Structure 1
């Protein structure tokens, strides 16, 4: 890569990162930000984010709570960063924080009869978002079977075999969908979560790895059917009346780059990832905001969001590693 191009890329990533760190963040947003720092190799910033997640841990054990204690799994997005800092520093603050988060997930958190964690504390609802929030942390922490159980529970309830996409919310009390829309970012959470779990599962669980790899491929293939000419997706993947959205492409590109790097996906998928990546890069403004993502705080319109910033960084980190840049 030419020196000028490298400088342009570094400036863009610095601005995206700075804009992310300037945003207010809920628990899962703090977590995905910390994960982005880890994958960029910026352990100092990951330390700072992980520390505040522990400082804002509530009495239940949930990390990074900022008026979002209603969530069951969102706070677990902080888990890997907190545990990794515990492992590298030996600091009991982080070790205790990670242990309490795990205790909530494994022993206390509300769940379905077959063990799939609910997404909110006061309703028996399973959300596609949870694919990313809890299972990767469980897998990283060595609770591999627990991570696989979550993946299976979510897929059983949310997968639409006809559309080859995930629906958003299942009401396990009513045994029906509360929201059956094939939300783009929701499917992005699913593939990003699956590829992170796959990266942590041991070879002794090859049958589980093969099965989840199949789920990953099927979801990405289902999404690619709806990829627009401009490299973006609609907010609801199969609803062209919904707004055009940026973050879904970043999330799927991230999953493809990482999936190829661990051997879960064929290298031919990279061409699709490059289309999505280029479209996302074009959406970064002069201040470093990734424009057109499903916007915080209500996610019902295009705009900006911490998770959109974080996934730009995650996508770029995965792309660089995959292309040896």
Structure 2
């Protein structure tokens, strides 16, 4: 299928359906490329919206992370998340690929350039401004995109190509690619980036689907398979629905915004455990993981939050009122169910339905970030914020002040094992800190 551009009100019926499945994480590990200097801390968070369910943060909440600690976390994330050349590992560190870069670029933008994210209520008008290209340059995330662009094979229609990778993972780079296209100084680079963005959109219209329209997270060479991870990236702009929604916001394309919602709706139908409200990790394909993996639920909730923001901050948010209501409900289902199942350490367990699992710092950070963003968007609750704050208070002390690595995390490539060097967990910490600061500044 192809995605045609439609402004709100020019289409009828349901949007085309298409979720994408996730990476075969076990198949890729990588080396690192050092990203250039990250620019000055620029936390201009005055754009926060009025809260519908405002709640005062508990007085015992940990203060904002120090610049020193943020830089330590960021430094490890940069080394471990920005490789564009592929497949390298050491015994002491775990290096990953495109989804890790996508999550890191989103974290950089949300922490240092919040004006350039879908969480900014004015983002739509700012993207249209003729002066936008020269007003704010996110050099760190732009340099990551430039690295991917320089290594991108001419034979691929995706943002990136990783042997053994997933159909959905490269889309995690999507929002950073959009912002890079808007802020590069070269007209030729702008044109090249814009062409690549459109190629990615077109590619996603061709990936295999279920009979009811869910995009496979895996490439066309493998059976259709649905992963909860597909719903995010980058975070987090991370995987497919946030990218489609972000592109729809940028171009005022209702088809893409509605497609993002449709994909989430179908994925939820396949993956949600009706008893708990949480999502299973992987279904269909030649193998499954029916466990309620915490990080997968975090990816889903965080991704839906960015789709929610894209719809709310589009030029015509009233056109998406029913979809916005759906997303608030679906995000809250995951958050409320997860927060009701903290382990004896007050942390998120790696698998919610496994009594022998471990406390996971990574998913604790990612899931804790969501209520702060929901509250910023006017849809948080006091109970959610209280638990999110308590989780944050548990996560921050687990960051090594000497190395900067978050300790006690799930291994991104082996979901029942722990590691103290998870690249995506580093980005989760930055996402949590950005969300906490944004919400706190609004109080």
Shorter-chain TM-score above 0.5: yes
Identify which of 386, 401, 410 aligns with 1:294. 410
How big is the shift at 1:99?
1.5
Match of residue 213 from structure 2: 115
Residue deviations 1:151-199 (CA, integer Å, cap 9, x gap): 011101000110221011110x68xx82210001011111001111100
Identify which of 378, 382, 394 aligns with 1:263. 378
Q: How does 1:149-298 map to 2 (within 5 A)?
A: 149-171=262-284, 178-201=288-311, 202-285=317-400, 286-298=402-414
- Largest Rg, 1 or 2: 2
How big is the shift at 1:312?
0.4
Identify which of 305, 317, 323 aligns with 2:434. 317
Q: How many residues align?
A: 316
How far, CA to CA, are the matches of 1:96 and 1:56 in structure 2? 16
How far, CA to CA, are the matches of 1:84 and 1:25 in structure 2? 23
Identify which of 99, 103, 109 aligns with 1:28. 99
Match of residue 246 from structure 2: 140
Q: SS of the residue aligned with 1:22?
A: helix
How far, CA to CA, are the matches of 1:124 and 1:294 in structure 2? 26
Q: CA RMSD in A?
A: 1.9
Structure 2: 5+ residue runs without aligned partners? 1-58, 81-94, 114-137, 233-238, 249-255, 312-316
Residue deviations 1:80-101 (CA, integer Å, cap 9, x gap): 1001111233522321221111
How far, CA to CA, are the matches of 2:337 and 2:149 in structure 1? 38
How far, CA to CA, are the matches of 2:160 and 2:422 in structure 1? 17
How big is the shift at 1:229?
4.5
Match of residue 61 from structure 1: 157
Structure 1: 5+ residue runs without aligned partners? none
Residue deviations 1:239-266 (CA, integer Å, cap 9, x gap): 2201221111111111111111001222
Identify which of 54, 67, 70 aligns with 1:10. 67
Structure showing the higher helix proportion among its residues: 1
Q: TM-score of the superposition, structure 2-length normalised?
A: 0.68
Contact 2:216–2:224 (Cα < 8 Å) also in 1: yes
Q: SS of the residue aligned with 1:265?
A: coil
How far, CA to CA, are the matches of 1:145 and 1:296 in structure 2? 30
Residue deviations 1:121-145 (CA, integer Å, cap 9, x gap): 2121111010101000100100101
